[in-house]
Amino acid sequence: MPAKPSTTKTKHSKSASAVLLRYRETDTRFGVSRETATRLAQTLGLSETQVIHAALANFARQTLPQYEPDDGPLTAAQEKAIAKLVPQRGFVSTKTRLF
């Protein structure tokens, strides 16, 4: 069941979005039990809320791209323009030089 965002007042902002978190009965690939969250908090010296934020931040870094998407592959005209700008005469590949 998806979490329902709500608006609550906090001391840090006039209104902040809130999410209901339901712990799993047992640890799974996509969820943890309250016991595991508590153990993580104690081990890291954080609150359970901080543990959840840290987990989401790590997941975001691992999953979301850290760069702006490009325009796709170069066109033939772009490749030709690059070839004109970068001299290719006299180029010998490292593989050819070594072997």
Exposure class string for 47-58: b at 16+ Cβ within 10 A, else e? eeeebbeeeeee
Q: Could you report the per-residue pLDDT of 54-75, keeping only the tens digit for each?
A: 999 999 999 998 888 888 899 9
The two counts, helices (H) then strands (E), for the chain are: 4, 2
Phi, psi of 72 (to 5 degrees): 95, -170
Tell me, yes or no, whether 96 lies in a domain: no
pLDDT at residue number 35? 97
Total count of domains within the chain: 1
Domain-embedded: residue 16? yes
How far is residue 48 CA from its own chain's centroid?
Answer: 21
Residue 87 lies in a domain: no
Q: Which pTM does this prediction carry?
A: 0.55
Boundaries of domain holding 54: 6-63
Assigned domain for 13 exists: yes
Q: Residue 52 in 3-state DSSP?
A: helix
